[in-house]
């Protein structure tokens, strides 16, 4: 099983990814929990560059995320799936579609083609998008904001609208979940939704 969890920064993705992996491990399943950008040495270096580095052109940003995703898919996700493990990923291809393709205006189709090419067509069986307004998500974030978080609430609102658009377009794969619910309620919803994938 391959699932990803998406949403604006501060929506609770990382918490829900952790709770879902704990649930699956409790069922006796092997689970690979990973994140993007990251998951590999190259991915962690890209993460530092795109989140903590200086400003960059939107296509440079999209290309760096795609490079990280190519390595992550080849080195972590495909091998895990091949041996029968579950993969729970904190962000995957839909982040690039929402942030770079739509919110940064690079074009949904263009960014989709780039990313489908680098992952050789691999998509999660189910993607959960934690829908939460930008102001609430922003209030939840702790610590120093990264380069993308510093874009502000207007940009995050655009990303939120992009995720809603993606959920409508890819309704067979993406599912919106109310991110304002208590974490345990969201976790229960996700557990029920993955039952048919087990």
**What is the pLDDT averaged over residues 143-166?**
87
Q: Which of 52, 32, 141, 147 is nearest to 92 (CA)?
A: 32
Alpha helix (H) residue ranges in the chain: 13-26, 41-52, 58-72, 78-82, 93-96, 108-118, 134-140, 153-169, 183-194
- pLDDT given at position 135: 76
pLDDT of residue 176 exceeding 80, the answer is yes
Calculate mean pLDDT across residues 151-173: 93
Given a cut of 80, whether residue 146 has pLDDT beyond it is: no
In the chain, the percentage of residues whose pLDDT exceeds 90 is: 82
pLDDT category of residue 151 using cuts at 50, 70 and 90 = confident
Provide the CB-side half-sphere exposure for 196 (13 A, CA). Answer: 4
Residue 27 pLDDT = 97
* CATH code that applies to domain 2-197: 3.40.50.300
- pLDDT at position 3: 98
Is 90 exceeded by the pLDDT of residue 10? no
Domain ranges of the chain: 2-197
pLDDT band of residue 148 (cuts 50, 70, 90) is: confident
**Tokens, residue 69:** 């995703």
Residue 139's pLDDT is what? 73
């Amino acid at each position: 099983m391959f699932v990803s969890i998406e949403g604006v920064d501060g929506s609770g993705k990382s918490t829900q990814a952790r709770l879902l992996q704990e649930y699956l491990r409790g069922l006796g399943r092997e689970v690979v929990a990973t994140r993007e950008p990251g998951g590999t040495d190259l991915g962690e270096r890209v993460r530092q560059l795109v989140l903590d580095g200086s400003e960059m052109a939107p296509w440079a940003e999209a290309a760096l995320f795609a490079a990280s995703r190519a390595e992550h898919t080849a080195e972590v996700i495909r091998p895990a799936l091949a041996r029968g493990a579950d993969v729970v990923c904190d962000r995957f291809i839909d982040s690039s579609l929402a942030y770079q393709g739509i919110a940064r205006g690079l074009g949904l189709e263009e960014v989709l083609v780039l990313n489908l090419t680098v992952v050789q067509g691999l998509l999660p069986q189910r993607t959960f998008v934690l829908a939460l307004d930008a102001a609430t998500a922003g209030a939840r974030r702790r610590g120093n904001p990264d380069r993308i978080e510093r874009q502000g609430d207007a940009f995050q609102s655009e990303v939120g609208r992009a995720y809603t658009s993606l959920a409508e377009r890819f309704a067979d794969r993406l599912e919106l979940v109310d991110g304002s619910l208590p974490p345990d309620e969201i976790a229960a919803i996700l557990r029920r939704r993955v039952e048919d994938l087990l």
